[in-house]
Amino acid sequence: MGLFDIFRRKAKPSSEASESTVVSESTTESLVETSNSQTEASVSEASRVNESSLTTSESETSLASGSQSTSLSEVSQDSLASISESELSASEVSEQSLEASTSESESTETATSETPDETVEETDTATTEEKYDQGLKKSRSGFGERLNRFLARFRSVDEDFFDDLEELMIESDVGYEMAVRLSDELREEVKLQNAKSTQEVSNVIIEKMVELYEEAGANEDDSIHLAEQGPTVIMFVGVNGAGKTTTIGKLAARYKQAGQKVLLAAADTFRAGATEQLEVWAQRDGVDIVTGPENSDPAAVVFDAVKKAKDDHYDILFVDTAGRLQNKVNLMNELAKMKRILTREIPSAPHEVLLVLDSTTGQNALNQAKLFKESTDVTGIVLTKLDGTARGGIVLAIRNELHLPVKFVGLGEKVTDLEKFDASDFVYGLFKGLVNVQ
C-alpha cells in the first residue's frame, strides 16, 4: 500500500462515523416518539400533523438542494478545456469556505482533546496529527492557491502546461531536481491525458509528487541512533538563527519526560548570551548543564561534558555548537576537533549529528544542507518553524536531492510542538483538502 493511500484511509473512517451518527440519531428519535405516543396520544396526533407538514416542506427544500448539488457535480466533470476561469473561481470560493469550516471544527477538537485526565499516549496520538495539520496549514494553503491559479490558465494539457508546472514546483520549494523529474514523468502518464476535470488533474499531480517522495525515502532511516552502552551523544550544527538552542531545549524536555537522564553541553561559547539561553532551558527542563567561560575553547567544554556524562551515568548528552557558515574553514575545523574528542572518549560517539535548518529560508536551507553534508558527517535534519512558513515543500526537496532523513520538525512554539517526523502525517497535512478520493 502506497503513501498516497493515506488519503483513502483518512476518508473512510469519516464516512463510517457519519453513517453511525445517522443511525444513532434515528434510533433516539424513534424511542422518543414511542414514549410520547404512549403518554400523550392526543398531543402526538397534533404533532404528527404538524411534523408531516414540516417534513413535506423539508423534502421540497431537500429536493431543491439536491438539484443544485447535481448541477454542481455536472460542472465539476467537464473537461479541463471547457472550464472557464469564472467557474474555477467559484470552485475556489467553495473550497475555501469548506476549509474554513473544517479548520473551526478541528480547533474545537484540539481544545477538547487537551485535557489533563487523558492518558499521555492518547493525548500524544491525538495531538500529533492535529499539530501536523495546523503546522502545515500555511504551506497547504499556499500550494493550493498556486495550483488552482496554475490550472485556471490552461485549456489543455500541452507542452506549455508541463513547462509552467515545472516552474510552479520550483516556486513551491520542492527543489529543482524534483520539479524537473515530476514534469518529465507526468508527460508519460497516460491517465493525466485522460483526466478531464481540474480536480482529476490536481489529483494526478499530487499523487505523482507523493510517489516520488516515497520512492526517494525507500531505505531511509529516520530513527534516533542510541548508544548500546553508556551515554548517547548528539551534536547539533547549523547557522545562527536556525533554532539549534531552542531545539536542544525542547528535545531535552522530551527525553527527560521519557525518563532519561539528560546532560547539556554549552559549546557555543562565542555568541553573546548563548550559554545563558541554554542555561534557562536547562533550568526549565530540570536537566544538568556543563558550561565554560565566554570565548573559551568549545572543545574544552565538550571534553568536560562527555567526561561528566560517563562518570555520572547520563543517558544522553546534547551538544550545542556555535552557529557557523559551512564555508568558514576555521569553524568547520573546530567542529571536527570536538568530534575527535567525543570519539576518543566514547568510540561510537557522536551517535547523531543533526543539522538544524530554518524552513522559512526555503531554497537557502536546501543549499545549506548540501554544503554541510559535504563538510561534515550529518546524519539527519531538524526542520524548525514549519508552522510559520508556506515553504513546507522543502521536506520533499531534502529527501529527493540530499537523501538525508528529516528526524524532527518544529510545528509550533510550545515545548511539545517539536515532533518526531512522520511521513504519513506530513503528506496528509501538506495536501489535505487538495486531494479528492472516493
Q: Which residues are annotated as a binding site for GTP?
A: 238-245, 320-324, 384-387
Hey, what's the cell of 336? 571536527
Contact 323, 268 (CB under 8 A): yes
DSSP secondary structure, 75-113, as one string: HHTS-GGG--HHHHHHHHHHHHHHHHHHHHHHHHHHHHH
Hey, what's the cell of 27? 434510533
Q: Maximum CA pair distance of the chain?
A: 94
Calculate Rg over the CA atoms of the chain: 27
Contact 321, 235 (CB under 8 A): yes
How many CB atoms lie under 10 A from the CB of residue 180?
A: 13
Spatial distance between the Cα atoms of 418 and 409, rounded to a whole number of angstroms: 6
Spatial distance between the Cα atoms of 427 and 4, rounded to a whole number of angstroms: 8
Spatial distance between the Cα atoms of 324 and 316, rounded to a whole number of angstroms: 24
98: left (phi over 0), alpha (psi -120 to 50) or beta: alpha
Spatial distance between the Cα atoms of 94 and 138, rounded to a whole number of angstroms: 18
- Which residues contribute to the annotated binding site? 238-245, 320-324, 384-387
Q: Looking at the DSSP assignment, which residues form a beta bridge with residue 382?
A: 356, 408
Q: Looking at the DSSP assignment, which residues form a beta bridge with residue 236?
A: 320, 354
Instruction: Read off the DSSP letter of residue 295.
Output: T
Instruction: Read off the DSSP letter of residue 433.
Output: T
Closest by alpha carbon to 383, among 434, 338, 426? 426
Q: Looking at the DSSP assignment, which residues form a beta bridge with residue 321?
A: 267
Q: What amino acid is encoded at 287 in this protein? A: V
Spatial distance between the Cα atoms of 423 and 38, rounded to a whole number of angstroms: 57
Contact 301, 215 (CB under 8 A): no
Contact 240, 271 (CB under 8 A): yes
